Amino acid sequence: MTSASAPSHLRAASASATILEFLRTPRSGRVIATFARSCYLALDGRIVAVVSTELHNGPLNLVVTPAPPFSRLSIGASASSTAHRVQVADAWDIVLDGAIAWDPVLGSIDRAAHDTLHTHLQTLTDLIVAEAPLGGLARASVEQAGTVLTPLERSASLGLTDLFSGLRRANRSQVARGAHTLAGLGPGLTPSGDDLLVGCLLALAALSYVDGASVREAIASSARHRTTQISTAYLDAAARGEASEAWHRLVAAMSTSDVVRVIGVARQVLAAGETSGSDMLGGFVLAARALLGAPDATAFAYPAGVLRAP
């Protein structure tokens, strides 16, 4: 239950068009996770993220105002919805009428920007090295792991090799093997391995002129049953090419020659979660380099050859 001071009437300011369409049919479920600025509902097997306006739009998001005291909500509290409202814990009545339907489907990087894209990928690599928080897989995914790998990086090493090499060769089985190794790897509701795979899927969506449909499905299907319910929802959304607002801005920036713009938006991506944003960005760079062909001779070299692709 929420406290007596929790607002009883909320308004959905905006929401993923995918989520609004799902909520057109009456649903029921429960609260499965709460954070300071959001909570997650499982409604008839689908994940809906109820978030404050400062978290903006995302593929699972229902953005509400005013912000309720999310952290006071009890895990397991009931939730239900109709075409017009979402009821949470018999305390929050979220009105859906008037919500702006936001399209979560990621745009494409302009094919004409191919030459500039390599420069942007190096810029993103440098940014990850300089600013990614410790504890995730971001640096390992861009070949900048330390001389001594962390336990997480070592556990991910073969998966990263398979993923990169499989994407580079359009080898579906190798991509699936890499995704299987990485799925669920690391702590939290969205483990680092999953976040990295989300970034890979977004690269495949943004580089729409590269035929990646087969490997997108290979990644999603290999990871689907090896991780958390919430992480699976983000993987499935990324497999459909759905991403948050920050990712939309980053993909748009990468179609330009404006390096300053790319850095500014990439920092917004990095800011997501503790390591989620950086891990996703690392996965994006890994996949894009594999798909486009890394311009350097050592396409995937790691300390002591631990992760060297054949």
Does the pTM surpass 0.75? The reply is: yes
Same domain, 62 and 206: no
CA–CA distances in Å: residue 208 to residues 196, 243, 250, 298:
19, 15, 15, 26
Residue 3 lies in a domain: no
Last residue of a domain, one of 102, 123, 153: 102
pLDDT at residue 47 in the model: 97
CA–CA distances in Å: residue 233 to residues 46, 92, 194, 198, 243:
8, 24, 11, 10, 12
Same domain, 86 and 182: no
pLDDT at residue 295 in the model: 55
For residue 78, what are the β-bridge partners? 30
For residue 94, what are the β-bridge partners? 10, 86
What is the mean pLDDT of the segment spanning 191-204?
96
pLDDT at residue 309 in the model: 36
Same domain, 147 and 228: yes
Task: Give the three-class secondary structure for 205.
Answer: helix
Residue 134 lies in a domain: yes
Confidence of residue 303 (pLDDT cuts 50, 70, 90): very low
Across 25-34, 142-151, 163-172, least confident range? 142-151
What is the separation of C-alpha 216 from the centre of its chain, rounded to a whole number of angstroms? Answer: 14
What is the mean pLDDT of the segment spanning 127-137?
94
Q: How many domains does the chain have?
A: 2
Residue 2 lies in a domain: no
pLDDT at residue 43 in the model: 97
Residue 306 has pLDDT above 50, yes or no: no
Residue 146 has pLDDT above 90, yes or no: no
Same domain, 97 and 170: no
Residue 298 lies in a domain: yes
Residue 78 lies in a domain: yes
- Domain span at residue 57? 9-102
Length of the chain: 310
What is the mean pLDDT of the segment spanning 108-123?
89
Residue 310 has pLDDT above 50, yes or no: no
Residue 263 lies in a domain: yes
Average pLDDT over all residues of the chain: 90
Same domain, 59 and 154: no
Residue 310 lies in a domain: no
Same domain, 152 and 75: no
Last residue of a domain, one of 37, 72, 102: 102
Last residue of a domain, one of 83, 102, 121: 102
Tokens representing 102? 């936001």
Instruction: Note the pLDDT tens digit of each residue in 216-243.
Output: 888 988 988 889 999 999 999 999 999 9
Same domain, 134 and 257: yes
What is the mean pLDDT of the segment spanning 140-168?
92
Confidence of residue 301 (pLDDT cuts 50, 70, 90): low
pLDDT at residue 72 in the model: 86
Same domain, 148 and 15: no
Same domain, 83 and 213: no
Residue 4 lies in a domain: no
Q: If phi over 0 gives left and psi between -120 and 50 gives alpha, with beta otherwise, what is residue 130?
A: alpha
Same domain, 158 and 191: yes
Same domain, 80 and 124: no
Same domain, 135 and 277: yes
Q: Using an 8 Å Cβ cutoff, are 91 and 101 in contact?
A: no
Instruction: Note the pLDDT tens digit of each residue in 65-79.
Output: 998 889 889 999 999
